[in-house]
Amino acid sequence: MFGFNLPTIIANIPALMIGFAFHEFAHAWVADRLGDPTPRSQGRLTLNPLVHLDLFGTLMALLYQFGWAKPVMTNPRYYKGNMRRGHMQVALAGPIMNLITAFVAFVLWYLTMHWIHGSAWSGIIRLIFQSIVLMNLGLGVFNLLPIPPLDGFAVLRGILP
- For the annotated catalytic residues, the residue numbers are 24
Asked if residues 139 and 150 have their Cβ atoms less than 8 Å apart, the reply is: no
H or E element that contains 143? helix 122-143
Instruction: Specify which residues 59 forms β-bridges with.
Output: none
Residue 107: how many CB atoms within 10 A of its CB? 12
How is 119-142 classified by DSSP, letter by letter? STTHHHHHHHHHHHHHHHHHHHHH
Q: Decide: residue 58, CB within 10 A, 0-12 exposed, 13-18 middle, 19+ buried.
A: buried
**Directed axis angle between helix 6-33 and helix 55-64, to 10°?**
130
* Helices marked H in 34-82: 38-41, 49-52, 55-64
